[in-house]
Amino acid sequence: MSERKPTAGFWSAVAFLAVVILYPLSLGPACWISSRMGAGAHVVSIVYRPITWFIPTRRVIFRPNQLEAAMRRYSEFAAAPDWKWYSVSYGPGQPQRWEWGQVIVY
């Protein structure tokens, strides 16, 4: 009897599922590491921007929606104090987007 070897389609499906599952799960550790090192916040904001596209930045109510609350809890779980996701706009008429970094309140 001959053994069947996995096809390219099988490995493509495995790679696709790994990316779909591991990419969102890596958000928390990336935030934790960047906050503890005090560097890389801009890189985290760019690399995980596809995830933050699904989280609205403008709300009519002041309560975060479930996606935002989940993202914040997971990202801030082991992060250094005062490191958070915050919404920014770079000028009038510019869209708002999420940025990861240290929030300093004076």
Dist CA 58 CA 5 (whole Å): 51
Cα 99-78-67 angle, rounded to 5 deg: 50
> For residue 23, what pLDDT is reported?
94
User: Angle at which helices 27-37 and 8-25 pack, to 10 degrees?
Assistant: 50
Report yes or no: 76 and 31 within 8 Å, Cβ to Cβ: yes
Q: How many CB atoms lie within 10 A of CB 52?
A: 20
> For residue 22, what pLDDT is reported?
94
* pLDDT tens-place string over residues 3-31: 888 899 999 999 999 999 999 999 999 99
Q: pLDDT: is 91 or 33 the higher one? A: 33
* pLDDT tens-place string over residues 56-103: 876 555 677 888 889 999 999 999 999 999 988 888 878 888 999 999
